[in-house]
Chain A
Amino acid sequence: MIKDSMLQRPLLLAGALAVTVALLHTGCGKSERGAAGRAAKTAIQIKGSDTMVNLAQAWAEEYKKVAPDVDVEVSGGGSGQGIAALLKGTIDIATCSRNMKPQEIEQAKKNTGKEPKEIIVGYDALAIYVHKDNPLNEIAFEQLADIYAEGGKITQWSELGVKLPAGGDEIVRVSRQSSSGTYEFFREHVLNKKDFKLGSRDMNGSKEVVELIAATPTAIGYSGMGYATGHVKMLKVSAKAGQPAVAPTVEATLNHTYPIARSLLVYTLGQPEGVVKSFEDWILSDAGQKGVEASGYVPVPQAARKQ
């Protein structure tokens, strides 16, 4: 009896091991097949800006109708993450809501021997959002810097001369995580490269910023104009106190009267080729630019579309 059970145990274990080995094996088989499958159906990997993730998604869906054998796969994470992935060679196209930094271009050349190629695919006005019940209508860069930058003095709404109807005076600053292109764009152009005051709520996406502001009467934040909803208000912005404040509209973005308008960019390593090239051409076509408009951003005027 005892002998029997002792014999059975190793057998059971051997069985379990065999199953594990078999499972590992099929696991490997699958990934090989996946790689082979990709060759038949081409995939374009896009990653980067959260400002542009909805837009890229819209492109991916539209493009499926034009070229059914090309799979466009989109993920966000922030412009910084897109560039990091492009430099590692894990993606084909990086979307970016800021320009690539010189040291990033340097690194791209060093890692891959290729120079990143940039095209402008649209424009965005970086909008300053407050809750819809906030009586404030316009704001100047200095005030924003006083609210957001390290050493800035404004922490209460009353210091801006605002009395909130819902009560509460402390300004809840909504910001972005540091991999965000929007974060860097705001720091460079509004804060003049000064650092952010600590203690802001750093959201992981453009949409989260607007959602938190919609739920918080005392909040202020920045995000792409494409994320506006009925629960938030976009402020008019002036670069200097005293200058007329401008609302983030399509015209103001295109003629640069809105002070924090920016280009939406896509990067590839070297000159795009094959499917990536046709995809980029399609982005700049009327069909692709319609997607830019539908996502709430400003399309590139016909004359300025170049590669």
Chain B
Amino acid sequence: MGEKLLEGLIYLCGISAIIFVLGIFFFVFKEAFPVLAKPNFSLGQFLFSPEWYPTSETNVRYGVFAMIVGTFSVTVLAMLIAVPFGLGAAVFVSEFCGPKLKETLKIIIELLAAIPSVVWGFIGLTVMSKLIVQFTGAPVGVNILNGGVILALMSVPIIVSIGEDALKAVPDSYREAGLALGATQWQLVYRVLLPAAKTGLLAAVLLGVGRAVGETMAVLMATGHAVHIPHSILDSVRTLTANIAAELGEAPEHSDHYRVLFLTGVLLFTITFAVNLAADLVIRGIRKK
């Protein structure tokens, strides 16, 4: 009797994830949907116009293209920095360093992951921005470079800890076989471990991407919050997430502005969904081989 009850409870816990995801998607979409039917709203303008004037008195325009570009530019830069560093660190921690150093490194990396995003944003706004102005001569220090570096620092710990787990999951017999065949440590990593742990490493990278796309507070503070299609990495941008955070509180409930912000949420949802789906397909493809 008790067994059955617990089983039922655990089953509920298991499927609750599905319920939550569907529930959130339903709610966000429900709030956004009515604006799609408005005659003065066009989805094409929403996606491809860089003009964002939600509170204009003369000509209201809702275009988030500049923010899509902003989100992508910051994320891509962050990944360019974080992926090599994160995977390199994972390989080092898992394969090359001694047990004592390994423990210390793991603790410190976990500590890095525990820093709240608003603190990262603060570092970007004060420390990083001054350094950027000093070394690049950019007029303003809050820009793509700043946001990218901050986001990279935030996603590295995730990539390292998940990547390290993936490498640890490769059976030791692979290592022993490789070494017995006379491979050097580097050949072992490059030829045996990386291919064997491919799926896990990809998952690590994608979780890092997810963190970067979804991060709000740090990029709100570090990127300069300017609606503008960037021409160089020293330009300020605004990201989709930062825009929602900055404007949702003020938008009157159920106004067009409010609904368009929810539509931006749907867009973010779609982007992360696409990233995850792509990852899943890639992983499946690898498994089949």
Q: List residues of A whose CB falls within 8 A of some B CB.
A: 10, 13-14, 17, 77-78, 80-81, 84, 87-88, 107, 168, 170, 172, 177-179, 184, 187-188, 193-195, 198-204, 212, 215-219
Contacts and interface: CB of A to CB of B under 8 A. Distances in A.
Contacts of B130: 215
A46 to B, nearest CB: 16
25 contacts: A13-B6, A14-B2, A17-B9, A78-B250, A81-B249, A81-B250, A84-B250, A170-B139, A179-B247, A179-B249, A179-B250, A188-B57, A195-B56, A195-B59, A198-B226, A198-B228, A199-B228, A201-B142, A202-B226, A202-B238, A204-B220, A212-B142, A216-B139, A217-B139, A218-B139
Contact of A198 (B2, B55, B66, B249): B66
A contacts with B: majority SS:
mixed
B53 interface: yes
B51 interface: yes
B31 to A, nearest CB: 16
B226 A178 contact: no
Given A13-B10, A178-B54, A194-B58, A168 B227 contact: no
Interface in B139-179: 139-142
Interface of B: 2-3, 6, 9-10, 50-59, 66, 129-130, 133, 139-142, 220, 224-228, 236, 238, 246-247, 249-253
| Nearest 4 pairs of A and B residues by beta carbon | A179-B250, A199-B228, A80-B250, A178-B55
Nearest to A78: B250
Contacts, number: 89
A217 B129 CA distance: 14
Contacts of A204: 220, 225, 246
Contact of B226 (A80, A81, A184, A200): A200
B284 to A, nearest CB: 32
B250 A172 contact: no
Contacts of B253: 84, 88
A50 to B, nearest CB: 12
A56 B251 CA distance: 23
A178 B251 CA distance: 10
Contacts of A80: 250
Nearest to A188: B57
Nearest to B9: A17
B58 A195 contact: yes
A194 B224 CA distance: 23
Contacts of A195: 53, 56, 58-59
A201 B142 CA distance: 9
